Structure formats: structure tokens, C-alpha cells
Amino acid sequence: MEDPVRALPPLSRAEFARRGFVVLRAPIISRDYCDLLNARLEKLLRGEYDVPGGAPDKVPAFRTETRTKPGKKPPPLGGPSSRTLQVINCWKADAAFAALVRSPTLGRAVAEVMGWRGARVANDQAWGKPPGAAALTFHRDSPYFDFVPAAVATVWIALDAMTEELGPLEYVEGSHAWGDGRVGSAEQFFDSRDPTALLYDAARREGIAAPEASLVVERLDVPAGGAGIHNGRLWHGSGRNRSRTQPRRGLGIHFVPADARFRDAENGYETLAHRFRDPSGGNALPDHAFPVTWTM
């Protein structure tokens, strides 16, 4: 399948370095391609894959047909729910997702704004917020990847038109330059009791006395196919989906430098990525699991 990503406008590396992100409001993929991915996401949630022998690395338990009247088509993402659905590495199970995730256009854009000589896919994550789904806690991406160098960049692509009601992604400008005082854990992604608690604590550790009023936050109110590219150290999160009928779907693609390698597991702890480590290959990242999508 050919590259589905449209030609991107010139991206300012200086602006990216200052703000920690860039927003692409003009769609980088077509509305038809968004519709295709949303349809394929429904199949992935039901265990229907079109890559022979392929499967995502993580799929949530999904039982929506039992709540649907016989003969009726289930609503997207199973209909209203407080639960956010996450599928990791759709590209391994679905050709349409694979064409987008492995896009050389995206790989080049990421490498250029990050100052890398090439870009490699660490993983992708499809996020589905049904109507009523809770907020996602503000966090950074880079602490969850055990590679060296530790640099990470994320491309987030909206698969639905984002409005404030749906709880779009929100970026905290300049927060990629903060220290490492607060990190968080994967379990806290879905702790919606106070989604800004970690963010504000991290800001106070940076000497920002009143973060609730002083932080500059940009919401990704982009059309379907619009996108954001952000530094993995940037603090970001999203609000709850307040719609009663409209799902909120997006795809995040995490990139690392093409020459990245596994970091030795600390205290015996290994991340999801370490399962693909081949002891005979040392710390090298296997291309079949972490494909390089662009190099100089």
C-alpha cells in the first residue's frame, strides 16, 4: 500500500525546539482514510486482523455485541462508556494502519524536527474514547520507553474532527524543557480523579508558583486527519468525552532515532518492548519489530 500521508508543509525546527510541539491543522490524511482506519479499529477490537499471522501487542477485552439488539449494528467503540480503549501496535495486524505508521513522510518530518539522522517506529497506539469516556492524565511519553538515546517523538493523528466536547489532546507549551522531578506510571493514564495533579506538581518543581493560571496550553482542535507532532518530554493529556453520541478516536505513533538501542533492564524490570529483544543481537532493535521508516 502506498504512503497515505499528504505532502507536509515546511516545519520550523526552531519553533518545535521552543514550544515542544507543532500542530498540523490541515489534514495530513484524507477523510476517507480516517473512515477506513475507524472501520478497521472496530475489527481489531473484535480480533479480526488482515495481516497473515499478525496481531496487535495489546488489545482490550471488548464485548459490545451482547449489549446490541439482534440484527442491529453495534455503535462505534461499543457505545457510551467511561472506559477508554487502547490498542497497541495496530500496524502489526492491519495493512491500512501499517501504511500510515510506516509512512516515510512522517518518519522524515519527525527526524527533521528532532534533529535525528533517521526515524524508527517504537510503537503505535490507537485511542478510542466512547461517549462518556473519562479524561487521560497529563503525562510525558519518553519515560515509558527503555531505549538509548532516550529521545522520543510522537505523531498524534485525529481520526475524528476534534471539538472541545470530545476531549482533544492538549499540549503544555515549553514543558519538554522541564526537569525529571515527576514522571508518573502507565496505570495513572486512566486515573481521572485529578488528571492535572502530576502536571501541576511537576510545574511547581520548576518554580512555577501558580501553574493553574500561568501554563500555556494548546488544544488540538483539528479536523479529522489533522495532527500534532510533539517531543516525548512534553507534558500532555486530554479531557473526558462529554458527547452523548460521538466517539473520539486518534492514533499516536511513537518514534525513536533510527540508531536507538535497548537500554539494559534496571533491577530486572523490562518494558513491553523488551519482549522483542534477541539476546544474540545484543542491544540492537530488531527491524521487524521496530521498523526504520526514514534515514538520510
- Domain extents in the chain: 13-61+73-260
Q: Which residue has the higher pLDDT, 246 or 266?
A: 246
Cα separation of 27 and 82, whole Å? 29
Kindly tell me if the per-residue pLDDT of 283 is higher than 80. Answer: yes
Kindly tell me if the per-residue pLDDT of 156 is higher than 60. Answer: yes
Residue 282 banded pLDDT, cuts 50, 70, 90: confident
Cα separation of 153 and 136, whole Å? 19
Kindly state the average pLDDT of the residues 163-170.
97
With DSSP H G I counted as helix, E B as strand and the rest as coil, what are the percentages for the chain, rounded to 5? 30, 25, 50
Please give the grid coordinates belonging to residue 208.
512555577
Residue 183 banded pLDDT, cuts 50, 70, 90: low
In this predicted structure, what is the pLDDT of residue 63? 76
In this predicted structure, what is the pLDDT of residue 194? 84
Residue 184 banded pLDDT, cuts 50, 70, 90: low
- pTM of this structure: 0.93
Kindly state the average pLDDT of the residues 83-100.
97
List pLDDT tens digits, range 33-79: 999 999 999 999 999 999 999 999 999 998 776 666 777 788 999 99
Cα separation of 21 and 168, whole Å? 15
- In this structure, the number of other CB atoms found within 10 A of the CB of residue 181 comes to 11
Q: Report the share of the chain in percent with pLDDT over 90.
A: 81
Q: Which residue has the higher pLDDT, 70 or 102?
A: 102
Kindly state the average pLDDT of the residues 119-138.
96
| 13-61+73-260: CATH class | mainly beta
In this predicted structure, what is the pLDDT of residue 147? 93
Q: Report the share of the chain in percent with pLDDT over 70.
A: 89
Output the average pLDDT for the chain.
91
Q: Which residue has the higher pLDDT, 230 or 269?
A: 230
Single-letter residue type at 200? Y
List pLDDT tens digits, range 230-254: 999 999 999 999 999 999 999 999 9
- In this structure, the number of other CB atoms found within 10 A of the CB of residue 121 comes to 25
Cα separation of 247 and 257, whole Å? 33
In this predicted structure, what is the pLDDT of residue 70? 73
DSSP E strands: which ranges in the chain? 21-24, 85-88, 118-129, 136-139, 147-148, 153-158, 169-172, 217-219, 227-231, 236-238, 248-257, 261-262, 292-295
